[in-house]
Amino acid sequence: MKSGRILKKDDRLVLATPKLKLNFYDNMYLVPEYLKDNKWITLCIDKNTSYAKPAHYAVIEGKEVSKFKIQKELAEETEIQDYLGSGVRFSIKGIDKESFEVPVSVELLIEVFDEFPSSAIIRSIFRVEGNKEYSFDRLYANNLVVDSRLLAGKKPYEFFGFFGSGEMREHLVQEITEDFRKDSYMGIYDTHDGGGARPDYRWGTQPGYGGGLPLSYIWQKNLGIGICNIETKYKICYLPVKVEKDGIVTMGLNYKTKEKISKKTQFISMKTAITLQEGDYYNGIESYSKMMKRQGLHFPEGTNESYEPSWCTWGFNSTYTKEEILALLPSLREIGIKWITLDDRWYGNIGDWDLRADMFPGGEEDFKQFIETLHKEGFKVQLWTMPGMIDGITDMKEFLKDYPNANVEASKHPYHTVSKLVEKNPDWFITSPNGKREITKRGYYFTCSCHNGAKKHFHELVTKFFADWKIDGLKQDSVYISPACYNEKHHHMYPEEAIERFDEIARTIYETATAINPDAVIESSPPGTPVTFSVLQWQNQGMVPDPWTSWICRSYSKFLKALIGPKAAIYADHVEILDNGDDFASQIGIGSVPGTRYNIEGIDKTAKKEVQGWMAFKEDPLTREKIDCWKKWITIYRDKMLSKGEYLNLYDLIYDKPEAHVVCKDGKMYYAFYATEPDGLVEPWGGIEEYIKFDGKFGSKQMALVKKHYEEMKAPLMRKFKGKVELRGLDKNKTYSVYDYANNVKFSDITGTHPFIDADFTNFLLLEVVEKGL
């Protein structure tokens, strides 16, 4: 990159690069601008706002230090070359002589790279004068004040947002409303430390939920803006977004520290970034992903087996038998499904993973014989587990006295017995500052990923699964993040080391499994939240966890395509929990891998037990008609294999109507259009009432939306669209044939100069567009 330019104006300092202009006002408040169609545009309000704060400021010894004055004469720029490529680094400085007992100075190091021209990587360095040492309590970074009306929005908060850390059972894409508050806390939700957007309440005090990726991104029709940190180690922080009383949106990043600052010891912040992008959240996530990959992280797209459709036992809930599975083999074979997932409750205990005696009375030999039978029938087997979690509950009532916040999840899964590992290895576990063992959402103990003995155990366990039992893959459930570990016997450098190294058990499992079986499919699921980015390195099949509506399924799939890669294998979970219980179009059309959990009787015990989705209100026996329907869609999937194609981000998920997705495969373009509207604030299932009641949110808009979905799920969803649709991404000099491959209907040919068709469809329209002459 040619050097940027530093422009000194009366009231601000302007750092100019080809795609970005960063305006730092005299109080170090930041307004970033983006070059679009040869015009500089912004969503950020100028300095005349009461919400204006310095781009970075601090709390030192409990006092806010934010009255910085920029020192224009000290601004510098340097051309650089590092892991993110070639670019320019700016250094700007400011000093606060009013807020604290001694002057505090801040230096911002701001980098813009050729490969990331609309992103600014920002790190701050704080220094103090005087002879004392002070506690550096909290850093506030990348503070922005945003107004959608600056770019033709009707209301200041007219945005949709992507939030990389969802609170319990919230979806990662949400509409910003007039009372919107979002903490986007990266830790376990019951360990909040006061940096959120809504200190009046927290929806999400259940233990064990948390994790994700540290990115908040909001957008409207003309522009989007995101804030993130790009540390390769998992760091706890908040990325709050808040609609203020006058409708203005504030956003930023902050985190608590235990560091000290003195004349001899400076404070250096984590690496943060601000990114401006056109379109929905895809580009923001893709930019974040590329930065992480350039720093050495890797997100596997998948092996050939990762793209195979699968059937799962979860429709039986926890009461399935070998005989019920064997009875389904003929239909699975006819439909074209080759993978079987043995879901929750094949085991006797979480931790020991011994076999359930009533299901496999002959023990391990009985189980191995069953697996061998499935293999001989042409099927592969995936085993459900909860990695790094060990059961220690003997009496539920006594347990809830010690852990009252676990009353929903631990009680919902009542089968508990104490693992032998708890008695043999009492020092493996994460403990709180008071020495109490930390628990996961179901009430199991957290194994500390830093403990070598624990990692050795998981290596041996997975070796048994794959080398002895001949399992072909793992479905790992409830993989979120861990709390900090205060167990003195672990000799941590600092308690948060356990969080930073949380993925090491996942790594042990992945590397052990794939060393034994290179085609092993390893999947990790964080039900109800976005996936934790560090764990994503140690799986080869992304997963949409518990989507419950088709719109959630599609928008989460798009998130994973942006994060992992455009050809990533993304398992779209069970079709039965999507709209109408049969919406394969929302799995296949966007390039995901389909899944199902049907049974012969057509009674989905899980859906009925927890009032989840369409199947909670109906029964759907395995008839000839149903087999033919499932076979049709799996045949389409195998014929097109769009999951191995390249997802192209040509449409905005929200603002383009109807909703549209595109996959390019073998020189052909595949378009998927959907008539449904965004509906994904929270999962519409019965259990959510328990969570909301627990957090005192029965009167919330979230609950009202849940009840609305309840009523919608009781009848078939028939959304219609009629009008013109644009087929983007075509060559203007070519002519194309257009074919509805789901219904075998041919449209009139189109040209790249006029890529429109007249569409009239219910729920979905799937098109194959091929250049004439190919």
- Residue among 305, 369, 379 nearest 341 (CA): 379
- Contact between residue 273 and residue 289 where contact means Cβ atoms under 8 Å apart: no
- At residue 333, the pLDDT reads 98
Same domain flag for 316 and 455: yes
Q: Specify the CATH number for the domain of residue 362.
A: 3.20.20.70
Same domain flag for 419 and 435: yes
Kindly state whether residue 247 falls inside one of the protein's structural domains: yes
Q: Specify the CATH number for the domain of residue 177.
A: 2.70.98.60
- At residue 394, the pLDDT reads 85
- At residue 433, the pLDDT reads 95
Same domain flag for 365 and 426: yes
Kindly state whether residue 691 falls inside one of the protein's structural domains: no
- At residue 692, the pLDDT reads 46
Distance CA 159, CA 151 (A): 11
Which of 294, 326, 355 is a domain's end point?
294
- At residue 288, the pLDDT reads 99
Instruction: Supply 142's token pair.
Output: 């990348």
Which of 268, 294, 320 is a domain's end point?
294
For the chain of 774 residues, list the mean pLDDT of each consecutive stretch of 10.
80 96 98 98 92 97 98 97 96 98 98 98 97 97 98 97 83 90 88 69 66 97 98 97 96 97 98 98 98 98 98 95 98 99 96 95 97 99 98 88 82 85 96 95 95 97 99 97 97 98 98 99 93 97 92 96 99 95 98 98 89 81 98 99 99 98 98 88 51 48 57 82 98 98 98 98 99 85
Q: Specify the CATH number for the domain of residue 745.
A: 2.60.40.1180
- At residue 691, the pLDDT reads 46
Q: 152: alpha, beta or left, given left = phi > 0 and alpha = psi -120 to 50? A: left
Domain that holds residue 582: 304-644
Place of tokens 């302007």: 14
Same domain flag for 559 and 673: no
Q: What is the sign, positive or negative, of the torsion defined by CA atoms of 674, 675, 678, 683?
A: negative
- At residue 205, the pLDDT reads 61
- At residue 397, the pLDDT reads 87
Same domain flag for 385 and 465: yes
- At residue 685, the pLDDT reads 46
C-alpha angle with apex 699: 697 to 703, nearest 5 degrees?
75
Which of 644, 672, 695 is a domain's end point?
644
- At residue 703, the pLDDT reads 55
Same domain flag for 635 and 658: no
- At residue 695, the pLDDT reads 45
Distance CA 676, CA 588 (A): 16
- At residue 773, the pLDDT reads 80
Query: How many structural domains are present in the chain?
Result: 3
- Contact between residue 589 and residue 576 where contact means Cβ atoms under 8 Å apart: no
**pTM for this prediction:** 0.96
